[in-house]
């Protein structure tokens, strides 16, 4: 645990190297095992800016700060109207005078970039429409717990090529994990994300595949899915149900993958759509370990970048 990450922003998985990702995960695992006895965030304060509602993001960051001896302040969409009541620049500059780290869960990715540009403390992307890097740290911690490694494994993501898929592709490429993304035609991840992930993967031995063919899940060590319509896409939800109908994790998909393939879902789940309830409750499923590990992975991140 010798890497110095203090003062770093975390807006994208690409802000870290593969070695740094593993460093953060190891810190999170150690905290989960030992209970954070040294209180690495003692007397530190986290400001949490929310444009989107949340269960896991808010509670995992707030509980994590408390367990590590620190304090978190929740700022709702009505408390801070980013770029409306006050400029993002001024918000970043003011918060930097009060707190030690800022986390923002927003719609547009440019908002977290703008916060980071002007803040004098580390800024964490708690979710944007482009990436969800904190989620992927939790996913990787969960895979590491169950499988004992990340490199050389194959994760198969089934569903919409959204922010989670983007961060998974970047993260997998960085740690040497093979990544297959299976989507309906026209719902693939952004082409520039695929290209960049493949470029990074070429240096680590990671294979990045994007396809519309469900049979590509054959032999996968990890099966991952997410809701078919993300927050902000509610108007498309009904139309997407028909388009995504077969792109789900169920008993049939499990027969295609490896027999002991673990199941991940970043939640909330729409049972009967992207995953069926029975499959979500099998011994293959790690979705609630994954939810718990949001806190531990983020704790590892906070301890590393705040110091």
Mean pLDDT confidence for 135-153: 98
231 pLDDT above the threshold of 80: no
Tell me, yes or no, if 160 is annotated catalytic: no
Amino acid 81: pLDDT: 77
Which residue among the candidates 56, 100, 135, 298 is catalytic per the annotation? 135
pLDDT band at residue 229, thresholds of 50, 70 and 90? confident
201-225 pLDDT per residue, tens: 999 999 999 999 999 999 999 999 9
Q: What is the largest CA-CA distance in the chain?
A: 54
- Residue 213 token pair: 């063919």
Tell me, yes or no, if 294 is annotated catalytic: yes
84-112 pLDDT per residue, tens: 888 999 999 999 999 999 999 999 999 99
For 222, which DSSP code? E
Q: Which of 23-32, 73-82, 267-276 has the lowest mean pLDDT?
A: 73-82
Which residue among the candidates 58, 132, 265, 296 is catalytic per the annotation? 132
236 pLDDT above the threshold of 90: no
pLDDT band at residue 299, thresholds of 50, 70 and 90? very high
Which residue among the candidates 114, 129, 221, 226 is catalytic per the annotation? 226
Domains and CATH numbers, the chain: 13-132+294-306 (3.40.50.1370), 134-290 (3.40.50.1370)
Which residue among the candidates 9, 56, 105, 109 is catalytic per the annotation? 105
- This prediction has a pTM of 0.96
Tell me, yes or no, if 8 is annotated catalytic: no
Helices 133-147, 18-34: crossing angle, 10 deg rounding: 70
CA distance 41 to 307: 8
234 pLDDT above the threshold of 90: no
**Enclosing H/E stretch for 72:** strand 71-75
283 pLDDT above the threshold of 90: yes
- Residue 20 token pair: 């740094």
Instruction: Look at residue 38 and give its three-state secondary structure.
Output: coil
**Enclosing H/E stretch for 136:** helix 133-147
What DSSP string describes 141-209?
A: HHHHHHHS--TT-EEEEES---HHHHHHHHHHHHHT-EEEEE--TT-PPPHHHHHHHHHHHHHHT--EE
Tell me, yes or no, if 290 is annotated catalytic: no
Contact 271, 296 (CB under 8 A): no
Mean pLDDT confidence for 265-269: 97
Which residue among the candidates 15, 129, 266, 273 is catalytic per the annotation? 266
CA nearest neighbour of 168 among 213, 129, 136: 136
């Amino acid at each position: 645990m010798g890497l110095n990450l203090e003062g770093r922003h975390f807006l994208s998985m690409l802000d870290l190297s593969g070695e740094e990702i593993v460093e953060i995960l190891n810190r999170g695992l150690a905290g989960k095992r030992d209970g954070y006895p040294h209180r690495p965030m003692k007397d530190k304060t986290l400001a949490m800016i929310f444009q989107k509602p949340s269960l896991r993001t808010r509670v995992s960051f707030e509980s994590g700060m408390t367990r590590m001896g620190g304090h978190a302040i929740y700022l709702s969409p009505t408390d801070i109207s980013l770029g409306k009541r006050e400029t993002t620049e001024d918000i970043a500059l003011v918060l930097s005078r009060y707190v030690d780290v800022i986390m923002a869960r927003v719609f547009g990715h440019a908002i977290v970039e703008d916060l980071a540009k002007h803040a004098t403390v580390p800024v964490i992307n708690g979710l944007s429409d482009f990436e969800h890097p904190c989620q992927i740290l939790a996913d990787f911690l969960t895979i590491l717990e169950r499988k004992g490694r990340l490199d050389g494994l194959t994760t198969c993501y089934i569903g919409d090529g959204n922010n989670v898929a983007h961060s998974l592709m970047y993260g997998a490429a960085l740690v040497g994990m093979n990544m297959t993304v299976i989507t309906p035609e026209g719902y693939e991840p952004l082409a520039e994300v695929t290209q960049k992930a493949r470029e990074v993967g070429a240096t680590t031995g990671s294979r990045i595949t994007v396809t519309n063919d469900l049979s590509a899940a054959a032999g996968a060590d990890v099966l991952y899915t997410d809701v078919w319509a993300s927050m902000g896409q509610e108007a498309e939800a009904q139309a997407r149900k028909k388009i995504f109908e077969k792109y789900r994790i169920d008993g049939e998909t499990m027969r295609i993958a490896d027999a002991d393939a673990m199941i991940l879902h970043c939640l909330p789940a729409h049972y009967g759509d992207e995953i069926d309830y029975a499959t979500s409750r099998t011994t293959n499923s790690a979705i609630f370990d994954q939810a718990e590990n949001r806190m531990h992975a983020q704790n590892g991140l906070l301890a590393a970048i705040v110091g």
